[in-house]
C-alpha cells in the first residue's frame, strides 16, 4: 500500500487539492503497478507563519 505525503504552503483551493490527489494517485498507479484503491495520499498545508527560507519567515 503506497503512502504519499505532499507538503505545500497553504493557499490552494479544495478543487486544486482534489485534482492533486487524483493526479498523484494516477502517477503512483502508473509507475508502481499498485491498485488505485491501495494508494493513500496525504496533503499537508504548511502555515506560512511556520515556514522560513534564508532565515526569514515567508510572511515577514
Domains of the chain from N-terminus onward: 3-57 (3.30.429.10)
Catalytic residue selected from 2, 20, 21, 48: 2
Which ranges of 1-60 would DSSP assign to H, the alpha helix? 14-32
Q: Is 14 exposed, middle or buried (0-12, 13-18, 19+ CB in 10 A)?
A: exposed
Q: Tens digit of pLDDT for each residue in 41-57?
A: 999 999 999 999 999 99
Percent of the chain with pLDDT over 90: 95
- pTM listed for this prediction: 0.86
Q: Is 22 a catalytic residue?
A: no
Residue 24 CA to residue 19 CA, distance in Å, equals 9
Amino acid at each position: 500500500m503506497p503512502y504519499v505525503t505532499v507538503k505545500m504552503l497553504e493557499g490552494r483551493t479544495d478543487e486544486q487539492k482534489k485534482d492533486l490527489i487524483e493526479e498523484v494517485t494516477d502517477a503512483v498507479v502508473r509507475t508502481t503497478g499498485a491498485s488505485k484503491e491501495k494508494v493513500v495520499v496525504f496533503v499537508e498545508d504548511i502555515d506560512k507563519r511556520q515556514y522560513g527560507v534564508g532565515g526569514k519567515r515567508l510572511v515577514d
